[in-house]
Amino acid sequence: MVAQNSFREKAIDEIITAILDSEGRMDVEALKREISKKYNLGAFIRNSELVRRARERGYENLIPLLRKRPMRSASGIVNIAIMTISDCPHGRCTYCPKGEGTPNSYTGFEPATMRGIQNKFNAYDQVLARLTQLNEIGHATDKCEVIVQGGTFLAQDPQYQDKFILDMYNALNGGELAGSLDDAIHRNENAKHRCIGLTIETRPDWCFEPHVDRMLSYGATRVEIGVQTLNPAVLIRTKRGHTLEDVWKSTQIAKDSLLKVCYHMMPGLYASPDEDVEMFRQLFDDPHYRPDMLKIYPFLVMKGTEIYEEWKAGKIKPYSSEVAADVIASAYKYIPYYTRVMRVQRDIPAYLIDDGVKKSNLREAVEKRLRENNTPVNEIRYREIGHNLLKGEINLDELNPELQVRRYDASDGVEYFLSFEDKKTNLLFGFLRLRLPARPHRKEITGRSAGIRELHVYGEQLPLGERNLRSPQHSGFGKQLMDEAERIAREELDSDKILVISGVGVRNYYRKLGYSLDGPYMSKRL
């Protein structure tokens, strides 16, 4: 065993040396196979072992080459999903899966759910496990986006909610146990793992004023609302327990409170391809909706759901992988410049799916159709500079990012979308969402206050304080976007106050720009 370990260490050193000596791009996986075979190693060398050795030797520049999943930090952050053991107050929707000992709408075999089960749904342990995993494969973890998933979290006992969020912050704060939730949030402003964004999943009827206030008290910056369909008859048939009016109301309250809004949509649910494409057109034509982000989860048939029996009787048929890709690709032409498609399918193993999309590369299939059909794509993720840099086809020196300002109406308010884009390639370097609220209920948002709902500069994740010439992050775009937003608020909207919904770990950035803490927001007089 000692000899085997010695050979393994030699193999790791040899791989590191080969990468250092290489010119241009290298197939690291092929190199790992070759060296492992040379030393007759019983277990394949893991990327986490190479990352550890690179760090020990001070070769930080190698880590991007060794990342198992570079996409995870191409947008400038790493994601941490933590699972609650929550049910929904209305019961279960007809299509909703539920594994044994898991929250509603989860099977127990999604990566985040498995991590929840392994850690007994303890938020502290889930966060630590995920941080360890991300560090081992080479990702900087000082800027974290946390999402709370599982059932309807906001419908649970308030004490359970408070404890869950407290445990989350304690883990991000390096294990220092705070005396209160407020204390934990304050400590996170300067913690090693800063929460730069907190997302909570909920339902439209659990996203009204008291629910939004609770989310804000936790430091939330985004809400994900399960909308699924815009057909009132389908809402009833699937036992959703809410109305389209609830969707309108929750969206307006969330946006007026400066939260970012993501919709979960489910094409294929008692709808034809043409009807679903029309649904996406309506989603952005009607100002009651116009979400900032989308997660598109095609309808799936799984055992244990009420709709499974309808499928067996031939009363409903979900889309195949090919049809789903066609529908989503057709819908893309209606998705505007201000919306980001975050996901296009769920992390459910194919063997649990009785009918529906079983291939795991649905987004790739969608993007292939977009390219083949020369479909103009304005959606945010497709245009992000970070993802495009990873493909190795972009020369930053040839790009010329310019400031653009677009205005649109949404949820009775006025939205401005400010962005730095290269006009020739349509690539996006960063953006800012500015809103003049319609009917804000928060006391901090007074008179003609304007609010910044999101500021994001894209690029490869950098540890705080470090610079990388290949990355747009820390390049000054954020400051320029803020300056222009303040000018618009002051000169065009006649605002005397501007607020920012800031992730707890980003508050110090806004303090440098003259903002101070104002309830859950950072604000500044104009």
Q: How many structural domains comprise the chain?
A: 3
CATH number reported for the structural domain that contains residue 450 in this entry: 3.40.630.30
Q: Do residue 389 and residue 371 come from a single domain? A: no
Q: Do residue 435 and residue 480 come from a single domain? A: yes
List the beta bridge partners of residue 78. Answer: 144
Per residue in 378-392, pLDDT (tens digit) is: 999 999 987 777 666
Domain limit, last residue, from 22, 37, 66 = 66
Say what the pLDDT of residue 237 is. 96
143 within a domain of the structure (yes/no): no
177 within a domain of the structure (yes/no): no
Domain limit, last residue, from 66, 83, 117 = 66
DSSP-based three-state secondary structure for 289: coil
123 within a domain of the structure (yes/no): no
Task: Provide the token pair at 179.
Answer: 């005396």
DSSP assignment of 151-204: S-GGGS-HHHHHHHHHHHHHHHTTT---SSHHHHHHHHTT-SSEEEEEEEEE-G
391 within a domain of the structure (yes/no): yes
Q: Do residue 309 and residue 430 come from a single domain? A: no
Q: Do residue 396 and residue 477 come from a single domain? A: yes
Domain limit, last residue, from 66, 81, 99 = 66
60 within a domain of the structure (yes/no): yes
Instruction: Per-residue pLDDT tens, the chain, 526 aa: give them.
Output: 445 567 888 888 878 776 765 544 556 777 788 888 888 887 778 887 887 887 777 666 677 667 655 544 544 578 899 999 888 888 899 999 887 778 888 888 887 888 898 899 999 999 999 998 787 666 778 999 999 999 899 999 999 999 999 999 999 999 889 989 999 999 999 999 999 999 999 999 999 999 999 999 999 999 999 999 999 999 999 999 999 999 999 999 999 999 999 999 999 999 999 999 999 999 999 999 999 999 999 999 999 999 999 999 999 999 999 999 999 999 999 999 999 999 999 888 888 999 999 988 899 899 999 999 999 999 999 999 877 776 666 777 788 999 999 999 999 999 999 999 999 999 999 999 999 999 999 999 998 999 999 999 875 444 445 445 445 554 689 999 999 999 999 999 999 999 999 999 999 999 999 999 999 999 999 9
Say what the pLDDT of residue 461 is. 42
List the beta bridge partners of residue 83. Answer: 149
Q: Do residue 457 and residue 483 come from a single domain? A: yes
197 vs 143: CA distance, rounded Å: 9
Task: Provide the token pair at 247.
Answer: 């969707």
Question: Considering the entire predicted model, what is its pTM?
Answer: 0.86
Q: Do residue 511 and residue 450 come from a single domain? A: yes
Per residue in 248-284, pLDDT (tens digit) is: 999 999 999 999 999 999 999 999 999 999 999 999 9
Q: Which of 170, 193, 180 shows the shortest CA–CA distance to 123?
A: 170
321 within a domain of the structure (yes/no): yes
**C-beta atoms surrounding 115 within 10 Å:** 20
DSSP assignment of 115-137: HHHHTTT-HHHHHHHHHHHHHHT
Q: What domain range is 482 assigned to?
A: 385-525
| Mean confidence (pLDDT) of the chain | 89
